[in-house]
Amino acid sequence: MSALAFAGHECRAGALVRVAAALAEAGIEEPQREARLLLCAALDLPLADLIAHGEVPLGGGALRLEKWLHRRLNREPLSRIRGHREFRGRLFETSPAVLDPRPETELLVDAGLARLKASGRPGPRILDLGTGSGAIIVSLLAECIEATGVAVDISAEALAIAGRNSVAHGVSGRLTLLSGDLLAPVTGVFDLIVSNPPYIPSGDLAALDAEVRDFDPVLALDGGADGLDFYRRIIKTAPSHLTPGGILALELGIHQAGPVSALARGAGFSDIVLHPDYSGIERHLTAQWKNR
């Protein structure tokens, strides 16, 4: 049998060893952990079952394991292979048209929700710019049941995915999806404007990890020459769509906290707070619009 072929009679434990070895040889980090996740996903098994019953044959899952291992060796992230990703405890459908939602973005939802709740506004209106899979706005609406939302993306394919995710999580009745360029299709004012915009400097795209560079859409990554194009545009136009005292909440790239804070201050935002991610990097900014 070829090193990367699997037969139905092969036991799970043996396959696990071979998958981990193939991943290690390809230079994929944490090959043991990745191998366990890959087997569980391909065989549709809980981890405890894989560990406790390693002697069980792969059965009909062998072919899927083989195909998925080849894709992972080609650097495709497991969440992309599966076509969904967990975000704040909910499963979100993904596709090649949307950014794979990141764990640190869960903290943007926390930061936005905390400031929204502190403001004590009843029935808040929330706008999400560059919604992608809809992970941010769907989570916000699911966790703030009085809120209504608008989500914008320039990609029609992304909006279709966001729409399906809003249905899956029971918030579609409170969400309007708009196709267009940032705030161009938006009317009205909001209590919270949230965005995780494209923020990678164009010149850095080629050097990204293959998992990101080859599988996240460039439309979701490219933030212009210095990575700040979208922040300039959002900070300039958001004030005319915020209620007095409304909140702006943005995800930031590395080393962008200083320049984006300066942009927000210069535009008249106050109470600017930088929120660290799990690695201690200043990853999110929240700020308040003038309370007239």
Ligand X SMILES: C[S@@+](CC[C@H](N)C(=O)[O-])C[C@H]1O[C@@H](n2cnc3c(N)ncnc32)[C@H](O)[C@@H]1O
Question: Hey, which residues between 178 and 197 contact ligand X (CB under 6 A)?
Answer: 181-182, 196-197
Choosing from 22, 99, 144, 147, the residue that interacts with ligand X (CB under 6 A) is 99
We find the least distance from the C-beta atom of residue 87 to ligand X, in angstroms, to be: 8
Q: Taking CB under 6 A as the rule, does residue 140 contact ligand X?
A: no
Please, are residues 133 and 106 in contact by the beta-carbon 8 Å criterion?
no
267 binds ligand X (CB under 6 A): no
Instruction: Give min distance, CB of 263 to ligand X, in A.
Output: 17
3-class DSSP state of 242: strand
79 lies in the site for ligand X, by CB under 6 A = no
Residue 11's DSSP bridge partners are 57
**Shortest distance in whole angstroms from residue 105 CB to ligand X:** 5
58 or 162, CB closer to ligand X? 162
62 vs 220, which CB is nearer to ligand X? 220
Binding span for ligand X by CB under 6 A among 39-47, 61-69, 71-79, 130-138? 130-138
Q: Residue 94 in contact with residue 85, Cβ under 8 Å?
A: yes
**Is residue 160 part of the contact set for ligand X (CB under 6 A)?**
no
Q: Which of 133, 243, 261, 288 binds ligand X (CB under 6 A)?
A: 133
Strand partners, 92: 85
220 near ligand X, judged by CB under 6 A: yes
| Greatest C-alpha distance within the chain | 73
Is 152 an interacting residue with respect to ligand X (CB under 6 A)?
yes
Return d(Cα 129, Cα 195) in angstroms, integer: 5
| Binding of ligand X by 252 (CB under 6 A) | no
- CA 155 to each of CA 171, 179, 182, 200, 226: distance values in angstroms, whole numbers, following the listed order: 21, 7, 11, 18, 23
101 is an interface residue for ligand X by CB under 6 A: yes
Confirm if 65 and 43 have CB atoms less than 8 A apart: yes
Q: Which two tokens stand for residue 30?
A: 């944490």
Q: 234 or 242: whose CB is closer to ligand X?
A: 234
The residues near 49 (Cβ < 8 Å, ≥ 6 apart) are none
Q: Are 7 and 58 in contact (CB under 8 A)?
A: yes
Q: Is 201 in the site for ligand X (CB under 6 A)?
A: no
d(CA 126, CA 243): 11
205 lies in the binding site for ligand X (CB under 6 A): no
Structure token digits, residue 7 = 């037969």
Interface residue list for ligand X (CB under 6 A): 98-99, 101, 105, 130-133, 135-136, 152-155, 158, 181-182, 196-198, 219-220
